[in-house]
């Protein structure tokens, strides 16, 4: 029996994780859940899975949730201390880190320090604090399993092979809704246009990141730390069908890929049950129905955010944390209707250009770099 804490249980990854748990009650038990603003959904999850602990963002939300759950024994906590308490819940053996953005860093770090295995869906944890996190993983002797479909595909394609035999890894990207969109019209796209992903059903922030391809840039940085590879051995290719989730090329010229329909339940389940596999309800792959698979190089004029991510990773030190912070502020501004779609990458570039990268020796210094990036980007926005 694997006992789970889910950080971000009301998001898309959290919901899919609980669907897997519900289908395999003999294998999983929920110890703790954390949620954001969707109290109705968190209420239903608490009623169904009876966690020992649940945590929400604010005290007001905690009070409201308690009123919604009279007689329920689950302890309701709030704020960062509440998130940390859920992450460190004594009975949990694995933490699913699925909080979106840099907000997921602190509770994930707390879980690692508490000796929990991590199923990592929060890519920003490694983007902002990669070397610190990987050092902690080794020091604590815990395991880190990737949940992102691309990193799960790489992880699966590496099984049974020596790391010395890897020539490069290739991350696939759908290209989002704008891979063929007229370049001169990108500045005119609406919020609804950017949220209309052709293949995946994700949260709003991640969907915008996919449309700009910043999501892929963050995944490049995450892959650097997960698989201990330099940037020049991490490639990105546009694959509109999202059937091949990523590939590993070996020194003998052979390439191993992981294929499947675009459904996050498959990589989530693999992270939860490795090295075993369980039924997920994901439909099988019918290659004859797909008929063809297409690939092409990403257009960096169309997707400047991808180039900015490579630049941040090359600069290293504090720059990825600043870039990520700028991106989160810029995406929020776009979703609020304050800037145009094409302004997202422009804001990130301006923030990065104003920053002198410096070494990060602690999580506190990571958070300081994150704060600097947010303040600078808001200053550029005039907020």
Residue-by-residue pLDDT tens, the chain, 383 positions = 999 999 999 999 999 999 999 999 999 999 999 998 899 999 999 999 999 999 999 999 999 999 999 989 999 999 999 999 999 999 999 999 999 888 899 999 999 999 999 999 999 999 999 999 999 999 999 999 999 999 999 999 999 999 999 999 999 999 888 888 888 888 888 899 888 877 767 778 989 999 999 999 999 999 999 999 999 999 999 999 999 999 999 999 999 999 999 999 999 999 999 999 999 999 999 999 998 999 999 999 899 999 999 999 999 999 999 999 999 999 999 999 999 999 999 999 999 999 999 999 999 999 999 999 999 999 999 87
Concatenating the DSSP letter of every residue in 174-205 gives: --GGGTTS-GGGGGG--HHHHT--SS----HH
Contact 29, 120 (CB under 8 A): no
Would you state the structure tokens that stand for residue 101, as one six-digit string?
């953005």
Q: Is 361 exposed, middle or buried (0-12, 13-18, 19+ CB in 10 A)?
A: exposed
- d(CA 17, CA 26) in angstroms, rounded, equals 15
Architecture of the domain whose range is 2-146: 3-Layer(aba) Sandwich (3.40)
Say if pTM beats, i.e. exceeds, 0.85.
yes
């Amino acid at each position: 029996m694997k006992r789970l804490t889910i950080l971000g249980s009301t998001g898309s990854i959290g919901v899919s994780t609980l669907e897997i748990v519900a289908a395999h009650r003999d294998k999983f038990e929920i110890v703790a859940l954390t949620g954001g603003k969707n109290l109705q959904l968190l209420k239903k999850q608490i009623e169904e899975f009876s966690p020992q602990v649940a945590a929400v963002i604010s005290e007001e939300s905690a009070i409201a949730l308690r009123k919604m759950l009279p007689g329920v024994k689950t302890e309701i906590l709030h704020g960062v201390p509440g998130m940390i308490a859920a992450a460190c819940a004594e009975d949990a053996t694995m933490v699913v880190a699925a909080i979106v953005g840099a907000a997921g860093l602190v509770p994930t770090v707390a879980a690692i320090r508490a000796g929990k295995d991590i199923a990592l869906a929060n890519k920003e944890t490694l983007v902002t604090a990669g070397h610190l996190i990987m050092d902690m993983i080794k020091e604590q002797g815990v395991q880190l399993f990737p949940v992102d479909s691309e990193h799960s595909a790489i992880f699966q394609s590496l099984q049974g092979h020596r790391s010395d035999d890897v020539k490069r890894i290739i991350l696939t990207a759908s290209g989002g809704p704008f891979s063929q969109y007229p370049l001169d019209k990108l500045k005119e796209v609406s919020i609804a246009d950017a949220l209309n992903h052709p293949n995946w059903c994700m949260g709003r922030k991640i969907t915008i990141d996919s449309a700009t391809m910043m999501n892929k840039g963050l995944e490049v940085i995450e892959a650097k730390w997960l698989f201990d590879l330099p940037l020049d051995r991490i490639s990105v290719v546009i694959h509109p069908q999202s059937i091949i989730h990523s590939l590993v090329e070996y020194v003998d010229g052979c390439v191993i890929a992981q294929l499947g329909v675009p459904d996050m339940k498959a990589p989530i389940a693999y992270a939860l049950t490795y090295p075993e596999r369980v039924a997920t309800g994901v439909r099988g792959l019918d290659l004859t129905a797909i008929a063809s698979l297409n690939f092409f190089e990403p257009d960096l004029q169309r997707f400047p955010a991808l180039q900015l991510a490579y630049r941040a990773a090359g600069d290293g030190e504090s720059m990825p944390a600043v870039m990520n912070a700028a991106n989160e502020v810029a995406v929020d501004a776009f979703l609020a209707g304050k800037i145009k779609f094409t302004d997202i990458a422009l804001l990130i570039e301006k923030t990065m250009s104003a920053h002198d990268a410096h070494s990060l020796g602690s999580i506190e210094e990571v958070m300081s770099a994150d704060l600097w990036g947010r303040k600078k980007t808001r200053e550029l926005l005039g907020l």
